[in-house]
């Protein structure tokens, strides 16, 4: 049975950092997503309800976080970054459980869509499609199939287009 994601607590920060670090350093020796998460917690728009962990046998094994973004000049959107699962716990539904809970919380709070920069083979399983299909662009030069978005409210992106703007901690110029 998959453990349910829960809101992070300060006592979880070290465990979450370890999961994030190991997950991202595995693919990129210069990854700094753990430092990004610490900076995002200091953003004025940070909401702990959008930072989730899964704990198993007293250890944090998965972490996911949403942050505010704008599309063009419009607000009411979020970005999923990062999502990390301990290597030995992957392919057991923990990442999907975090995504589902984050989406549920975002929808309940009136957010319209969530964007993600990630593997389309993975995120398409959860309904994410290329953001370019909605005339939504990444501020980064990435293959269009890797920059995805999901409407939480059907039609939410119908009259929205433009380049995504992230909070300052991401260090991305639009």
Tokens of 77: 């959107």
pLDDT in tens, 27-74: 888 888 999 999 999 999 999 999 999 999 999 999 999 999 999 999
Phi-psi category of residue 137: left, alpha or beta, with phi > 0 → left and psi -120 to 50 → alpha:
beta
* 152 C-beta neighbours (distance < 10 Å), count: 20
Q: Which residues make beta-bridge pairs with 151? A: 113
Tokens of 140: 């980064």
pTM over 0.85: yes
Q: Please, which residues have CB within 8 angstroms of residue 110's CB and are 6 or more apart in sequence?
A: 76
Phi-psi category of residue 95: left, alpha or beta, with phi > 0 → left and psi -120 to 50 → alpha:
alpha
Give the pLDDT of residue 132. Answer: 98
Where do the domains of the chain lie, and which CATH numbers do they carry?
2-168 (3.40.630.30)
Contact 147/138 with Cβ under 8 angstroms? yes
> Once rounded to an integer, what is the mean pLDDT over residues 137-141?
96
Over 80: is that where the pLDDT of 174 sits? no
């Amino acid at each position: 049975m998959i453990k349910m994601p829960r809101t992070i607590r300060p006592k979880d920060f070290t465990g979450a950092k370890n999961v994030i670090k190991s997950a991202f350093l595995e693919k990129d020796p210069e990854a700094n997503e753990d430092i990004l998460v610490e900076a995002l917690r200091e953003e004025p728009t940070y909401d702990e309800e959008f930072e989730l962990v899964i704990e198993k046998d007293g250890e944090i094994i998965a972490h996911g976080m949403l942050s505010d973004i704008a599309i063009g000049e419009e607000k009411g959107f979020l970005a999923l970054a990062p999502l990390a699962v301990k290597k030995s716990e992957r392919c057991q539904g923990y990442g999907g459980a975090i995504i589902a809970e984050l989406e549920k919380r975002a929808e309940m709070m009136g957010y319209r869509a969530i964007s993600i920069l990630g593997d389309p083979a993975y995120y398409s399983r959860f309904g994410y499609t290329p953001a370019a299909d909605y005339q939504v662009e990444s501020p980064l030069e990435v293959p269009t199939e890797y920059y995805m978005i999901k409407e939480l409210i059907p039609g939410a992106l119908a009259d929205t287009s433009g380049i995504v703007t992230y909070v300052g901690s991401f260090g991305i110029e639009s």
